[in-house]
Structure 1
Amino acid sequence: MGEFYIAWVVHEAEFNPDSEIRVKVRHTRAHFDICYNGDLLAASPSLLELHREDYRRLHSDEEVHRGASCEVWPRLAKPFEQFMTQLVPPPTESTGDLHSYLYPASFILEARVDESGNIRPQIREVLSRQEFWPPGDSIESAFIKPHLSPLLDTNPKIYSSRQIQVLTHTSALLPSRVLVDGATYFFKAWSGRETGYYELQAYTKIRADDAANSPLLADARISRLHGLVIDDPNDVLQHFAVDPNGEENHPPHSRLVGLLLTDIDSDGTLAELGAWSDRTNEDRLRWAQQIRHAVGRLHAAGVVWGDAKPENVLVDMAGDAWLVDFGGSYTRGWVDEDKRETVDGDLQGLQRIDKWLAKWSLKPVDRPNHRPKGGRGLAVDGAV
């Protein structure tokens, strides 16, 4: 049932097999928090033992946890599918806007045991907007302001989430292609993490170069920032709890909730396309040259790509390679940790991408003949 997506599963860090497992499930019009608690499952010895085994598997080391996600997560969500379908609010005139997705109906559900000893879904709580913590970060936050202010000085277009129409979602049910002012963009939700701040700095430099008399990045195929999605205080305040004493219990600031980036009509990432037999050695050579050219232009403009790897290269429908994701960090196997977010790290990543592409050019017999097709059903986070 592809209309739901299992985003993640959480459990207590301290080992206690009777404690609660919470399954976070995403829908385009609702969010669900499914709770399995050993005390509530005690009425069925078999369900309680299964719960304890699930907890042990999820609590094990990282490698086992990744394997467990493919089996345990869908099984925990399965008894709730029909129940969640009934709870999803019907579409309205505003359903297609970004605001409806960012501030959805939210339900906490729990697993009970029926008379036959089976799982019986039940609502524990329906969260009001005053109980749903809003997305994004306050633009006046001491953490974000030093990184955001220079970008705001470049006068980017600013929109509220109510102005933005969602056209498509990713397989994880995250908004991807959006429409505003007659133009389409890629929507990237604000992460609020260190990588987000690094990305703001990168786009500030890219926008400064684009505005220069002789821009260095004019012919570089790279993702560019076209606007910011910032929700104003009047919209944000309805998502904070009201103090019964009448005192303000909320930050009176607008919040950055996402970025509007170049909409690349993509055939897939380099990681997805590089190995397939329907791609020629000439394709791989062209991609390597295009990536090197774009990175060279970035460096000349004072920008570091930061996380050089095939997953951060998109190939458009015309067969050209684009650099995306300027959030920094690094990925083992592509860039060494001591070279993260440096020119040397980018050059190391380029060299390894070149070798990776060359490997598939030299192994035509070993290349897959057909790309995999997506299946149907309850989607699960790609943790494996």
Structure 2
Amino acid sequence: MAGRPTYEIGTTRSSENNTDVQLNVSVGDKHFLIDLFAANFAGNPKLLKEYLLHVERSDPTYIPPSPEDSNDFEFADPLEEFYDWATNTFATLFRDIPPLDRERSYTLQDCLFPEQFVYTLQVTGDELVVPVPRTIGPDSRLVGVLLPVHKPLDKSTLPVYRPHNIHVRLNDDAVALPPSPRKVYINGENICFFKGILAGDVGMTFTELATYAKIRTAKFREYVRISRLLGVVENEDTSRVVGLLLSYIDCKNSTLSCAAQAGECASHDKWLEHTRHSLTELHAHGIVWGDAKPGNVFTDGNDDAYLIDFGRGYTKN
């Protein structure tokens, strides 16, 4: 949509029946939750149909009909079109938010705990009304996990940092703070990869921390190409672990999956050898790589292959 206020699209969540949706939008250093409910559009069949069509087309599993089978308008990017449609009435609110301060040193504290606003949309007649503020409970803003008392962090051997100690450098074209930045800096200097932890991932987090503790004890040499834990980020106010700081891999093709899709297999034997060697060393120390798949093997600019993700879950690049 030409002339729309600039914003960044975040995670989109939907209900079990895929009729109620939560949109996440970042504008400058602010965060907006926009809860959309099918019931709010029930009084206007035209808008309800429009809304449900956007919901359907923004689903990752959606398969568009062939042109001869559809009389509906087509989207260039269904998710982007959905956000444009839903945020049209937020134009004034968004424009009143100051742009990011390029002279300021932003941190994980700013990204993970921004000032947050919650709204929904209702209809009147043929038009969407202005955004309607909503009140949500405190649990909806929880970030990270609280480890059990009998499984605490071993702070004697594991560096623990606060979100305000981890800095984020903005891209030149950034219009908003990233809600979960990946490339971060310890005290503004040492580069590392930040793996955010979702509320509720207690078991996976404990497993991952235990595995990385074994890796630290093993003191592998550099030729064992695996991600390594450099520290843990803990929210001082809540004692919740909000993320892990891992060794940063300057990826070339991101993962073996991406390289295969791009048809770049010239280094296949090298990747296979690196993976086999790292696995052999891990197994020799009783360490299991719990989520073995091409998507969890990163390749860097030297075509070296690194094993990542030791929590038996998915680490997004």
Structure with greater helix percent: 1
* Secondary structure, counterpart of 2:286 in structure 1: coil
Between the two proteins, what is the percent identity of the paired residues?
Answer: 26
**What's the counterpart of residue 152 of structure 1?**
155
Note the 1:281-292 alignment, pairs <5 A.
Answer: 281=266, 283-292=267-276
Contact 2:28/2:98, CA 8 A, preserved across alignment: no
Contact 1:167/1:176, CA 8 A, preserved across alignment: no
Question: Displacement of 1:264 after TM fit?
Answer: 1.1
Deviations 1:37-84 (A, max 9, x none): 3454345331123345566x49xxxxx762179976444321306536
Write the letter of the residue equivalent to 1:286.
K
2: CA distance between counterparts of 1:257 and 1:294?
28
* Secondary structure, counterpart of 1:288 in structure 2: helix
Residues 223/21 of structure 1: CA separation in 2 closer, same or farther (3 Å cut): closer
Runs of 4 or more off by more than 6 Å in structure 1? 68-71, 169-172
Instruction: Determine whether 1:266 maps to 2:251.
Output: yes
1: CA distance between counterparts of 2:80 and 2:256?
29
Residues 294/28 of structure 1: CA separation in 2 closer, same or farther (3 Å cut): farther
2: CA distance between counterparts of 1:286 and 1:52?
48
**What's the counterpart of residue 177 of structure 1?**
183
TM-score calculated relative to the size of structure 2: 0.76
Contact 1:6/1:74, CA 8 A, preserved across alignment: no
TM-score calculated relative to the size of structure 1: 0.64
**What's the counterpart of residue 204 of structure 2?**
195
Residues 6/180 of structure 1: CA separation in 2 closer, same or farther (3 Å cut): closer
2: CA distance between counterparts of 1:197 and 1:39?
40
**What's the counterpart of residue 103 of structure 1?**
113
Question: Displacement of 1:33 after TM fit?
Answer: 2.1
Question: Displacement of 1:275 after TM fit?
Answer: 4.3
Write the letter of the residue equivalent to 2:36.
Y
**What's the counterpart of residue 226 of structure 1?**
230
Question: Displacement of 1:309 after TM fit?
Answer: 1.0
Between structure 1 and structure 2, the one with the greater Rg is: 1
**What's the counterpart of residue 213 of structure 1?**
none
Write the letter of the residue equivalent to 2:259.
L
**What's the counterpart of residue 50 of structure 1?**
50
- Structure 1 spans left out of the alignment, 5+ residues: 59-63, 211-215, 237-253, 331-380
Aligned length: 288
Write the letter of the residue equivalent to 1:137.
V
Deviations 1:223-266 (A, max 9, x none): 10111111213xx4xxxxxxxxxxxxxxxxx2211111101111
**What's the counterpart of residue 163 of structure 1?**
165
Question: Displacement of 1:89 after TM fit?
Answer: 5.4
**What's the counterpart of residue 338 of structure 1?**
none
Question: Displacement of 1:152 after TM fit?
Answer: 3.4
1: CA distance between counterparts of 2:190 and 2:51?
49
* Secondary structure, counterpart of 1:137 in structure 2: coil
Instruction: Determine whether 1:307 maps to 2:291.
Output: yes
Question: Displacement of 1:36 after TM fit?
Answer: 2.9
Question: Displacement of 1:23 after TM fit?
Answer: 2.5
1: CA distance between counterparts of 2:212 and 2:298?
18
Residues 197/87 of structure 1: CA separation in 2 closer, same or farther (3 Å cut): farther
**What's the counterpart of residue 356 of structure 1?**
none
Contact 1:114/1:120, CA 8 A, preserved across alignment: yes
- Structure 2 spans left out of the alignment, 5+ residues: 65-74
